[in-house]
A and B are shown apart, each in its own frame.
Chain A
Amino acid sequence: MNQNLQNILKLVEESEALSAEQKKSVADWIKEVDKTITVTEFKLDRTEKVKKTTAILLEETIQELELKRKAVQETNDALHKSLEELKATQQQLIQSEKMASLGELTAGIAHEIQNPLNFVNNFSEVSSELIDEMTEELKKGNMEDAQAIANEIKMSLEKITVHGKRADGIVKSMLQHSRTSTGKKEPTDINALADEYLRLAYHGMRAKDKIFNSAMKTDFDESIGLVKIISQDIGRVVLNLITNAFYAVNEKKKLNLNGYEPTVTVTTKKTGNKVEIIVKDNGIGIPQKALDKIFQPFFTTKPTGQGTGLGLSLSYDIVTKSHGGEIKVDTREGEYTCFSIILPV
């Protein structure tokens, strides 16, 4: 017991002024006060102890948190760097896919260029012969005939120009296809674009596989007019879908089914404020289990080395993200596949 309280208790006990009952009451009060003092002293002591520990713990915790913050920051930076690298890799992949599709087109392009070149060569030879004839006539002083031949030469040279420009257009188109997209939407003749890529894809297939053959049907809605699109990108989507369609009909043809006629149809149509490009084939179709994965990057059903698995994934991004459109697929395994690109006008 506290010494002062002990002294008070002693005084009370020795006091003659207080009754025994009163002494007991005072003694109880003193004991209660002593208990309170003891508890308070203990609380103070423990509070001091805990306060000290808490302060140290807090300091250490702050230090640890700072270390962890730094670690998080470093991880964040590394992640950021990885993301940048990933973006760069993605761009490279897109370019690779573009070049891969360009490769597929090479044969078709060569075929397309060959025609105008033939014309150019033929008309050049013809023009040369005509000049010889004209020289003869001039020597003879037959001016009328010389004039007529000169007119023919002019017509021949005009044809050379036309076919030269055609070849020039094809080369430019090829370069445009391989170039990084500008991302700029420009008024484009969708029907012409679809037609061009249909033919290019067909000749591409033919060049790779001499026995490949397929009927090509087109049904273009002439009311579409010009539509503002990123033509390089949509061209790639259309080319990808048509190439896939040719692949599908070719695979089915290999099954030697009786009466099977490979057919790829490209249709365009305008419905309200939307334009639709539909590529339909009567090929092998897409298995149901693969259907929900076809737009995932690197997914392909083609044998190794024959597909990058990026074509439909990039097509999906081009249509949905760059053009705010939709790309839909309808298929039945062994019967048909129909892809629809729906673009807002």
Chain B
Amino acid sequence: MKAKSIKGRSVEEVSSALEQSMTYDFKPTLAIVFISIKQDRNAVCKILSDKGIDVAGATSCGEFINGYQDQGSIVILLLDLHRDAYSIFFRDVGNRDLAEVAKKLAHNALQKFNTPAFILLSTGMSKEGIVFNGEELINNLSKEFGGKVNIYGGMAGDDYSFTGSYVFTNHNHTDMGAVALVLDEEKMGLLGNAISGWQAVGTIKTVTKSEDDWVYTIDGQPAPEMYLKYLGKQSKTDEELKTLYEDIGLFYPFQVIDSADPVMRTPMMIDKERNAIKFDFPIPQGTKLQFSMPPDFDIVENVLADADQLRNTNRFEAEALLIFSCAGRLNALGPLTNSENDGLHEIWKAPMAGFFTYGEFGKGKKDRPEFHSTTCCWVALKEK
């Protein structure tokens, strides 16, 4: 497999970069596209389709390739890979049962390959503001394989606009669904990891009144008041509260600690009339949670040291690298995300592309694929 990563701030720039990348010994068959919603993804897909290149893509909250990071742009990882080694499945999920979707996806993948692995791109939030339940999708998909499957990927972003995020192939796109790039693990090797670094702080609190993804009271106190007070943000205006997610939600998510594995739940917005906080996922009454603080600056070194150790332990030489980094990292780590992403590229020394996500899929501390948020999730690829 050969790989190249290209970028552009416009369709023309990408078209030009694509032309330059295609040489007599590099004829890409597959393009993994991460693109801002501000860009014309149909035009990009047409250019790629015209070149006979298959497309699996997602919209983003910031895009990057080796040595370049931007917002509002287009990045593409081009792979010159035999078509026997992969297959792309598009699923417009809508209101369908995700367990059923996952089951069929697993069935289709197994019909194609004995040992399938997944690069899974799902939508983040629909035009109507409904958050896609990536957690349910990956849990069900993983369950179909008894947890013994490689799944890496991310949930599409929309430049924090909450106007709808998309996944797409050459001719299809949806704001409520997923694109699965299924790889044949008999021909392809994958190695990846997901690390967060956010730490729980303060005392354990209980959700005392909630309805779906709206939380009204925590420990008997109005949730917005408590959240903003804790974060020293009482003076926020109504307008500022609507963009809570970008401003502080990503910075200070809650850690739900009911289960053995704490999960992050992100405040999306505050509705002053309702006097409630809207979260990215439903929070049942009685849920125990803690505030969490962004990681220390040395998290970047930790992510890189961990990747280096994995590379050495597994003696894995990558030919391409994908990174799915939580949009919250961009806020919490700022320019250090450059160091994180470029650092990973330095370790693997392979063409890289990635985007800032609304959620990540991958193996973390446990040896099975999971849904994450706040993580830097990466996967190195090579042809066997």
Knowing A46-B294, A64-B203, the reply to whether A53 touches B335 (Cβ < 8 A) is no
- Complex interface: chain B residues within 8 A of A39 (CB): 334-336, 339
List residues of chain A with CB within 8 A of the CB of B229: 56, 60
Q: Identify B232's interface contact among A35, A43, A52, A61, CB under 8 A.
A: A52
**Chain A residue nearest to B205 in the complex (CB):** A64
CA distance A39 to B231 in the complex (A): 23
Contact across chains for A35 and B293 when beta carbons are under 8 A apart: no
Query: In the bound complex, do residue A50 and residue B230 qualify as a contact, i.e. CB atoms below 8 Å apart?
Result: no
| Chain B, 155-207, CB within 8 A of any chain A CB | 201-203
Q: Say yes or no: B334 contacts A57, CB within 8 Å.
A: no
For the complex formed, measure the closest distance between the CB of B16 and the CB atoms of chain A, giving whole angstroms: 25
B203 near A35 with CB under 8 A, answer no
The one of B231, B336, B339 that contacts A53, using a Cβ cutoff of 8 Å: B231
The residue in chain B whose Cβ has the minimal distance to the Cβ of A52 is B232
A71 within 8 A of B: no
Q: Smallest Cβ distance from A186 to chain B, in angstroms?
A: 59
Q: Do B230 and A42 have beta carbons less than 8 Å apart? A: no
Known: A46-B294, A61-B203, A64-B203. A56 touches B230 (CB 8 A): yes
Asked if B336 and A56 sit within 8 Å, CB to CB, the answer is no
On chain A, the residues within 8 Å of B203 by CB distance are 61, 64-65, 68
User: Are B294 and A50 touching (Cβ within 8 A)?
Assistant: yes
Max chain B CB contacts within 10 Å: which of A39, A65, A68? A39
Question: Which partner residue on chain B sits nearest A43 by CB separation?
Answer: B297
Q: Is B291 an interface residue (CB 8 A)?
A: yes
Does A15 lie at the interface of the complex (its beta carbon under 8 Å from any beta carbon of B)?
no
Closest to A40 in B: B335
User: Quick check: is A54 within 8 A (CB to CB) of the other chain?
Assistant: yes
Minimum distance in angstroms from B167 CB to a CB of chain A: 31
| Interface presence of B348 (CB below 8 A) | no
Contact bitstring B244-280, A, C-beta under 8 A = 1, else 0: 0000000110000000000000000000000000000
Write the nearest CB–CB distance from B300 to chain A, whole angstroms. 10
Tell whether A89 is near chain B: CB-to-CB under 8 Å. no
B268 to chain A, nearest CB (A): 19
Which one of B202, B251, B297, B332 contacts A57 once the chains associate, using CB atoms below 8 Å? B202
Contact with A along B213-242 (1 / 0, CB 8 A): 000000000000000011110000000000
Residue of A nearest to B336 (CB): A39
Shortest CB-to-CB span from B246 to chain A, Å, is: 14
Chain B, Cβ-Cβ closest to A53: B231
Q: Are B202 and A35 in contact (CB under 8 A)?
A: no
Is A90's CB within 8 Å of the partner chain B?
A: no
State which of A35, A43, A57 has its C-beta within 8 Å of the C-beta of B230. Answer: A57
Residues of A114-156 whose CB lies within 8 A of B = none
Say which residue of A42, A50, A60 sits within 8 Å of B293 (CB atoms).
Answer: A50
On whether the beta carbons of B294 and A38 are closer than 8 Å, the reply is no
CB distance from A61 to the nearest CB of B (A): 5
A191 to B336, CA, bound (A): 91
Q: How far is the CB of A180 from chain B (nearest CB, A)?
A: 49
In the assembled complex, the Cα of A50 lies from the Cα of B334 at a distance in Å of 14
| Chain A proximity of B374: nearest CB distance (Å) | 15
Q: Which A residues touch B230, using CB under 8 A?
A: 53, 56-57, 60
The answer for the CA separation of A54 and B339 in the assembled complex, in Å, is 26
Q: Residue-by-residue, is B321-350 near A (CB-CB < 8 Å gives 1, otherwise 0)?
A: 000000000001011100100000000000
From A42, A52, A54, give the contact of B334 (CB < 8 A).
Answer: A42
Q: Give Cα distance in the complex from A106 to B231, angstroms.
A: 77
Q: Which of B293, B335, B336, B339 has most A Cβ within 10 Å? A: B335
Query: How many Å lie between the Cα of A35 and that of B203 in the bound state?
Result: 38
Question: Cα distance A60–B203 when bound, in Å?
Answer: 9
Are the CB atoms of A42 and B291 closer together than 8 Å?
no
Closest residue of chain B to A68, judged by CB?
A: B203
Give the distance to chain A from B9, nearest Cβ to Cβ, in Å: 18
Chain B nearest CB, measured from A27 CB (Å): 16
Q: Is the CB of B294 within 8 A of A60?
A: no
Q: Which residue of A lies closest to B203 (CB)?
A: A64
Smallest beta-carbon distance A5→chain B, Å? 15
Across the interface, which residues of B come within 8 angstroms of A61, CB to CB? 202-203
In the complex the two chains form, is A46's CB within 8 Å of B332's CB? yes
Bound together, the chains give a CA A54 to CA B232 distance in angstroms of: 10
Nearest CB of B to A31, in Å: 12
Given known contacts A39-B335, A39-B336, is B232 in contact with A53 (CB within 8 Å)? Answer: yes
Q: B294 near A35 (CB under 8 angstroms)?
A: no
> B287-325: which have CB < 8 Å to A?
291, 293-294, 297
Q: How many Å from the CB of A275 to the closest CB on chain B?
A: 59
For the complex, give the distance between the alpha carbons of A35 and B231 in Å.
Answer: 29
What are the 6 tightest A-B residue pairs by CB atom distance, in nearest-first order?
A42-B334, A64-B203, A39-B335, A57-B202, A38-B335, A56-B232
Give the interface of A toward B (CB within 8 A): 35, 38-39, 42-43, 46, 49-50, 52-54, 56-57, 60-61, 64-65, 68
Q: Please name 15 further chain A to chain B contacts, defined as beta carbons within 8 Å, in addition to the given A35-B335, A52-B232, sorted by A numbering.
A: A38-B335, A39-B334, A39-B339, A46-B294, A46-B332, A50-B293, A53-B231, A53-B252, A56-B229, A56-B230, A56-B232, A57-B202, A57-B230, A60-B230, A65-B203
